[in-house]
A and B are shown apart, each in its own frame.
Chain A
């Protein structure tokens, strides 16, 4: 009976619509992009293979851009973790009564238009903006701070935008946490911090890892927030790609850059996956 039940639950065809969608709009375009970046194309058609376009980007100028993007992604994912973990902890354990309300508040930003957020942050961060007015009004500062169009402004908005992607997976792993494990650890003589480091963090590492990739990967390609909040002073991977594909119309160069940056993104992501996975030693099921 068990066999027939489990086989009746398996419907391999159920994934077909999504598969077709992915094939048409993700895998085939990706293959074309990869192919284009290695093909020599002129007005007469394909002239053979070339590494010219890849080589074009392997210069300090563009590698620096990739480096900046990596830095942006790592800093953002780390900041999200540092801010998001305590928030998730609070939501899961402390805020029991208002849990649903707090989760709702966390998700509200997703409901409003992205550009609206950007302009709201302009208002908050600009020289005559909310923060400066407040600081000067309270006589903490004499001269207004220059926050907008600086790396700080970029990170503030990035953190703001990506925080829920870190909080939600951590929250879901903390919410199922068996609190008697915490009690057992305290009872065996651990302080709260020792308990956190030895029991809580390792057992919620899956959530942390999920949150890390949900923030790390999209931050790498992020270019709207950096260019709007950073005032186009810094170049990131996304800026280069949009320059080549949209502005100059030399799409195959854009494609080559996509291939290079994707390669680096995947390589670094695998590295982080290993590093973060190292602390997940549990072979048993996590109760």
Chain B
């Protein structure tokens, strides 16, 4: 297995710059996710790796071999398309066997290999059916099987689950994780869905609207320690508050938020831009805020507000709380009890508490 190295890739199309100076290492044998909003160029990046498009500038390496200008059919890389792109005039067997047949391999060997992969993907009953006779989930499996049967070094997946309904998607995600674990092939998975990304990724990269990579890391690093407000907002939900940094005595600091007061902060890692008197942002995840009707003392920070709306999600409940400065904060509470004490209702005055370690300081 070989890693992929992208070096200063740049790509423009008629409607503007799509990719802006992308450098990235995709480690071999890992499940790598490219997460970004629609239209951020993540699919274009995938197409460059596959060889479906050519970069304006920059280089692509597979291991130590430069493949920037290798023709598409000479790359040991296969792609699973968003719309599956199954050949409608070929049955499932011939769809899956397509790549092997092109190599001119012995037909009995091809047959063996195809039937083995058909078994892996639980498609036994559909060998002689045509793609249009299969359900979405089955078509998805055929598309995966058709790519994997060629034993590529790298498998590219372009929003492969976008067309499936929620339950099926969750099931397929688990199947993908298990498949990657078994094959040890490098998977590069493109999606705009943070839930999918956090579920499957070993490593993930977040791309912004301007075609740049904002952060690379494990799902946990990305979710717990976003480096920018874009990442904090895009991955998961969060509350962003504006204020001024002061009283900077590492690892502690204070932030003054107009009309709300002063709050304690914990600085995990000192950055150059952190200086006293600077306008900054803090991000607090909704599940890291504790909501109660009575004031509780063992928290570093407390805020008062009024419940404006309540959204029941089943496993959790979301409270939207209006603050004194007319800002709204989101709070998630786990629904741990069948019969909870001290139910919070609309228009109740509540206290919001959070520990200083759970608020993250971000550059404005």
Contact = CB atoms under 8 A, between A and B. Distances in A.
Interface of A: 178, 180-181, 183-191, 194, 198-199, 202-203, 280-287
Given A187-B72, A202-B89, A283 B130 contact: yes
A187 B89 contact: no
Contacts of B136: none
Given A183-B52, A283-B130, A284-B130, A188 B89 contact: no
Nearest to B98: A188
Contact of B73 (A178, A180, A190): A190
A283 B128 CA distance: 11
Given A185-B98, A281-B89, 10 more contacts: A178-B83, A181-B85, A184-B79, A184-B81, A184-B85, A187-B72, A188-B73, A188-B98, A189-B99, A284-B133
Interface string B61-102: 000000000001100011101010111110000000011001
B88 A282 contact: yes
Given A187-B52, A284-B131, A284-B133, A180 B81 contact: yes
A287 B132 CA distance: 9
A228 B87 CA distance: 47
Contact of A186 (B73, B87, B147): B73
Interface string B320-343: 000000000000000000000000
Given A183-B52, A187-B50, A187-B78, A282 B130 contact: yes
Contacts of B81: 180, 183-184
B215 interface: no
Contacts of B99: 188-189
Contacts of B150: 188-189
Contact of A282 (B85, B89, B98, B103): B89
Most interface-central of B50, B78, B89, B132 (chain A CB within 10 A): B89
B87 A199 contact: yes
Nearest to B50: A187
B192 interface: no
21 contacts: A180-B81, A180-B85, A183-B52, A184-B85, A184-B86, A184-B87, A185-B87, A187-B51, A187-B78, A188-B73, A189-B73, A189-B103, A198-B98, A202-B89, A203-B87, A203-B88, A282-B89, A282-B130, A283-B132, A284-B132, A285-B132
B127 to A, nearest CB: 14
Nearest to B81: A180
Contacts of B78: 187-188
Interface of B: 50-52, 72-73, 77-79, 81, 83, 85-89, 98-99, 102-103, 130-133, 146-147, 150
B73 A286 contact: no
Nearest to A280: B89
A181 B78 CA distance: 14
Contacts of A185: 87, 98
B1 to A, nearest CB: 19
Given A187-B73, A203-B89, A281-B89, A194 B102 contact: yes
A188 B146 contact: yes
B363 to A, nearest CB: 40
B87 A187 contact: no
Given A186-B72, A188-B78, A191-B73, A286 B83 contact: no
B85 A190 contact: no
A183 B102 contact: no
A44 B147 CA distance: 80
A90 B259 CA distance: 66
A46 to B, nearest CB: 54
A200 to B, nearest CB: 11
Contacts of A202: 89
Given A185-B98, A187-B52, A284 B88 contact: yes
B185 to A, nearest CB: 15
Given A188-B146, A284-B133, A285-B132, A183 B88 contact: no
Most interface-central of A178, A187, A283, A286 (chain B CB within 10 A): A187
B130 A188 contact: no
Contacts of B73: 186-191
Nearest to A286: B88
Contacts of A285: 88, 132
Contacts of B85: 178, 180-181, 183-184
Given A187-B73, A189-B150, A286 B89 contact: yes
Nearest to A179: B85
Q: Which 5 A-B pairs have the closest CB atoms?
A: A284-B132, A282-B89, A184-B85, A188-B99, A284-B130
Nearest to A186: B72
Contacts of B102: 188-190, 194
